[in-house]
């Protein structure tokens, strides 16, 4: 499992937990279609390095070890939550 950063034109950047770039794009597409209508924007997908400065490495390692694909939401008090891509939960 990996963490990716997916950015779409005019859309919020999302953290996506996925097994591959292709899976990250699929998850982003499902999320986009669940929340918006219209054409899918051009997107940029970057695999994030789990040891980048500013990352809570322990919380990220725990989330990655779960092996769950989905949209990642980080809460400094609770760690990572990984939501289904079709979840319509509003951004906090």
Report the percentage of the chain scoring pLDDT > 70.
91
Half-sphere exposure of 78 (CA within 13 A, CB side): 7
In a domain, 66, yes or no: yes
Question: What are the C-alpha distances in Å from 2 to residues 19, 60, 88?
Answer: 6, 10, 23
Q: Rounded distance, CA 59 to CA 4, Å?
A: 16
Q: What is the mean pLDDT of residues 48-71?
A: 87
Number of separate domains in the chain:
1
Considering the domain boundaries, does residue 91 fall inside one?
A: no
Of these ranges, 9-18, 27-36, 64-73, the one predicted with the greatest mean pLDDT is: 64-73
CA–CA distance, 74 with 57 (Å, rounded to integer): 12
Asked whether residue 89 is assigned to any structural domain, the reply reads no
Q: Considering the domain boundaries, does residue 14 fall inside one?
A: yes
């Amino acid at each position: 499992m990996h963490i990716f950063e997916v950015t779409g034109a005019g859309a919020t950047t999302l953290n996506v937990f996925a097994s591959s770039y292709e899976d990250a794009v699929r998850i982003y597409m499902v999320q986009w279609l669940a929340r918006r209508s219209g054409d899918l924007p051009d997107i940029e997908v970057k695999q994030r390095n789990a040891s980048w400065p500013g990352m809570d490495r322990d919380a990220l390692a725990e989330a990655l070890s779960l092996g769950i694909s989905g949209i990642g939401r980080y809460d400094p008090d609770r760690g990572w939550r990984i939501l289904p891509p079709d979840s319509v939960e509003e951004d906090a």
